[in-house]
Amino acid sequence: MAGTATKLIQKLGNSVKKVSDSRSSSWWYNQHMRAASRAISQRLPLADFVLEVRDARIPVSSEYGNLRYSPSSSRNIIVLNKMDLASHSKTKEWMAYFREQNCIPFAINSHNKDNVKQFLNFLQAKVRDLRRNMQSSNDLPTTVMLVGIPNVGKSAFANSLHQIGRVTAAEKGKLKQATVSPHPGETKDIISLKIVSHPSVYILDTPGILPPEIVDVERSSKLALTGAIDDSLFDQSDLAQYFLSILNLSHEYKKWENIAELDKNENQIMNDHTQDLVVQAVRRALFKEISSFEGNVEDENDMEHLIEAQFATLRKVFNVKSDSLEAANSTVATKVVNLYRTGRLGHYTLDSLPS
């Protein structure tokens, strides 16, 4: 990792460590989170299956700490959610790695109905095997507990299983909904949702829990960039620069080489960064900046100059006008981080496989 990225990792990581050490944020491991952690630990032994939901972009950094020292079990399944935002080839490698560790992994995009149906079929087969091995009645309900850190998509996954499972079972009645939010820590209580009938399978959606402290600054920075930690703890410009350093060291931008230039008369809508037209313009601008850069991205000073040039270009692309350069850069940064987190600026797996 280039020097600029290393500095940003240290800065972001130290921000997390400072807050976790001082407990200066009401969001960080507050009284509610401690109570939820105890409640989850008490219920874990009672669950028939435990689905540990992780972010496919950070398969190790998003590990749920309370399960870290649990022995591998056919009842514990690692669900790599948000696979649509991660590198497809790297997700395959991580799946193979987890199998080598005697773990049971399943990669999923919780917004893809076909993918969710595949998981439901997989889970139902596991339930049938469990009942057969235990020689227990198929009429007994099965409890599946979802656990994980904040913002890995547990509630969206639970809702998808609930909605698709209920439709498959042809059940009537109003569907419950787990709270889904882009902000971490929105689930406050353990919520039970029925996902399968005959035999009945219930899923327990639990609050996202982070450990009381995170010592590893690199892990902290990855959690910050992917949105597992409250954005109010960071300067958005630092997050955007961290992402741009990752982009600049990758080959992802090369996919944008053939994007056409925008027509001049289309610039009036450029302040809405979510529109496809604007996303294409951002990709094209970033490609031009990186491909024409004559410095060495492995050099700290050169990387800083490239990121400064990218911010200047993006201020024009987003049509950001402000009397303050700091305010303009903050606006650009917020848009860049959002585009990264929604997969509009490529697919990246931030964790490296163990050597």
Question: What is the tens place of the pLDDT at every residue in 34-65?
Answer: 788 888 888 888 899 999 999 999 999 999 98
pTM for the whole structure: 0.88
Q: What is the mean pLDDT of residues 319-338?
A: 93
The 8 Å CB, 24+ separation contacts for 315-321 are 316/285, 317/270, 317/278, 317/281, 317/282, 317/285, 318/270, 318/271, 318/273, 318/278, 318/282, 319/267, 319/270, 319/271, 320/271
Percentage, residues of the chain above pLDDT 70:
84
- Residue 256 identity (one-letter amino acid): W
Q: Return mean pLDDT, the chain.
A: 86
Q: Quick check: 131 and 138 in contact, CB under 8 A?
A: yes
List of E strands, the chain? 49-55, 76-81, 104-107, 142-147, 191-196, 201-205
Question: What is the tens place of the pLDDT at every residue in 103-154?
Answer: 999 999 999 999 999 999 999 899 888 888 877 666 678 999 999 999 999 9
Among the listed residues 68, 29, 39, the one whose alpha carbon sits nearest the alpha carbon of residue 150:
29
Which residues is 205 bridged to in the sheet? 146, 191
What lies within 8 Å, CB to CB, of 269 at 6+ separation is 275, 277, 278
How far is it, in rounded angstroms, from Cα 225 to Cα 12?
Answer: 9
For β-strands 104-107 and 49-55, DSSP reports them as: unpaired
Q: Is 97 exposed, middle or buried (0-12, 13-18, 19+ CB in 10 A)?
A: middle
Which residues is 204 bridged to in the sheet? 145, 192
Chain centre to alpha carbon of residue 246? 16
Predicted confidence at residue 19, as pLDDT, reads 72
